[in-house]
Structure 1
Amino acid sequence: MTHPQITGEAKPPHTPAPQLVLRFSGTRRGARLARQLATQQFTEWTGLPHDSDPARTVALVTSELAANAVRHGSLPGRDFRLALLLLPNALRIEVTDTRPERHPEPASTAPQSLDAPSGRGLLLVEAYAECWGWECRDAYTKTVWGEVALPSLPEAQAATNAAKNLL
């Protein structure tokens, strides 16, 4: 048996991006818990306070994606999945539901009635996320995702210092 020759400098082992994946009940309570957990995890990963603009953006995007999964993508008795992935410059929020046949329309092209009580969730996601989209990874589910930009290091430090000064 021959062994490959190792040349050059040793590479550090590949460290996967931090991620968290959880299932929630397809209910309003499940959507609320998903929002709270996403915000909590984001603040733990970044060190930013809960009331920082990026944390609020994570809460809003998660809330809208989870609410859409509950309202439009849920089948009775089926859960939805929340996945958070910390990328180098963004937090990717993925919500997977059980209705692959129901594709979200781009918010900017969907008809909007000014007096409608709902229908603006993806418009908010489009406005606050750096990018968003959807994909069907299998025949049984659909994933809608959005990416929230992470602040640069000086911005993050300033937000953390401001929060400490309030205490």
Structure 2
Amino acid sequence: MNHATPQVGAPVRTFTQLLSSTRRGARLARLLAVTELRSWGAPQDLTERAELVVAELAANAALHGRVPGRCFRLTLHLDPPTGRLRVEISDAHGDLHPHIDPLGVDPDALSTSGRGMALVAALADHWDTVPYPPSGKTVRAVLTAPAGV
């Protein structure tokens, strides 16, 4: 009697790091994310999109989510068989939630801010915000590698 041996897929990869709520911490989050995804053998397209998403979310955490003396947390979850990556940035400022300006609202063309979450929405399959106890929030973005990569 022949039985099919179940194939165990590659394990889900997880990376978590606390970083200072500063511009330097945001830059380090981006560099760590890229390094970790490359070491896991993530597809280049996924890594490049994740780099931009992490950069934006980490910059927001350092700029808008900063509470003196508190860090922000970067977490990556990669499921290799599905090519699905979840990026999470948690900060201590739970009362400020990111948003995208409604269609038809034209931001100042010379403004240096206000477009980041639109970029995240364009690069990610989905993003949302959930509470991060005791008083913070986590912004999550899900990215999927293109089929056949």
**1:63 Cα deviation after fit:** 0.2
The one-letter amino acid paired with 1:109 is: P
Where does 1:68-107 land on structure 2 (aligned, <5 Å)? Answer: 68-87=60-79, 88-105=82-99, 107=100
Structure 2 residue 12 is matched with structure 1 residue 17: yes
Q: Distance in 2 between matches of 1:139 and 1:75?
A: 13
Where does 1:55-134 land on structure 2 (aligned, <5 Å)? Answer: 55-87=47-79, 88-105=82-99, 107-109=100-102, 111=105, 112-134=107-129
Q: Distance in 2 between matches of 1:109 and 1:90?
A: 28
Point out the structure with the larger helix share. 1
Describe the SS at the equivalent of 1:46: coil
- Normalised by the length of structure 2, the TM-score is 0.84
Where does 1:22-61 land on structure 2 (aligned, <5 Å)? Answer: 22-48=17-43, 52-61=44-53
More deviation, 82-91/68-77: 82-91
More deviation, 130-139/119-128: 130-139
Percent identity between matched residues is: 37
Q: Tell me the number of residue pairs that the alignment of Structure 1 and Structure 2 aligns.
A: 142
Question: 1:13-68: per-residue Cα shift (whole Å, max 9, x none)?
Answer: 9x8621011100001110011001111111121254xxx33221111000000000
Q: Answer whether contact 2:15 2:77 (CA < 8 A) is retained.
A: yes
- Normalised by the length of structure 1, the TM-score is 0.75
Q: RMSD of the TM alignment (CA)?
A: 2.4
Q: Distance in 2 between matches of 1:76 and 1:32?
A: 18
Unaligned 5+ segments in structure 1 are 1-9, 156-167
Describe the SS at the equivalent of 1:59: helix
Q: Answer whether contact 2:91 2:137 (CA < 8 A) is retained.
A: yes
Point out the structure with the larger strand share. 2
Question: 1:64-99: per-residue Cα shift (whole Å, max 9, x none)?
Answer: 000000000011121100000013331110000000
Q: Distance in 1 between matches of 2:124 and 2:42?
A: 20
